[in-house]
Amino acid sequence: MSQRTSKGRADLAKKIEHISQESDREGYDILSYDKDGSLRYIEVKSTTVKDLRRGFYMTHNELEKADSLSNYYIYFVFSATSKTPKILPIKYSEIKRADYSFQPVTYHVTLLSHLTTEFETA
């Protein structure tokens, strides 16, 4: 059973949305609320290991959203498949000031338009 909480505010807990069930374009998984009613954008990342230094991957879209939304959080779930998983909530604005490293690891490759035209006519 999933438990929805929003800092003890049942009225806000009812409004929490699992955005990524509908679309992965938004750049976050959950739209939640802080106790004062302000929006909280949550991206969930997980790993089966206990070692937090292993890190997690973020997409370009997630990084763009994190940079543009003031209340963006990453909920890093570690030991996710154990009987006692742990959640480390990380406010994205704090990442820039803390001991985190960002390294690009993937490329998006698209066919040039003239190549797709040649392929479609063959």
Residues 94-108, mean pLDDT to the nearest whole number: 79
Predicted TM-score (pTM) of this structure: 0.77
- CA 50 to CA 63: how far, in whole Å? 24
Sorted by where each begins, the domain ranges of the chain are: 10-121
Q: Of residues 88 and 116, which shows the higher confidence score?
A: 88
pLDDT tens figures, 6-26: 567 788 888 899 999 888 899
| CATH of 10-121 among 2.50.20, 3.40.1350, 2.60.120, 3.30.160 | 3.40.1350
What is the arrangement of strands in the sheet containing 30-33, beginning at the earlier edge strand? 17-18, 30-33, 39-46, 72-78, 86-91
- CA 85 to CA 38: how far, in whole Å? 27
pLDDT tens figures, 26-78: 999 999 999 899 999 999 999 998 887 788 899 999 999 999 999 999 999 99
Per-residue pLDDT, 120 = 60
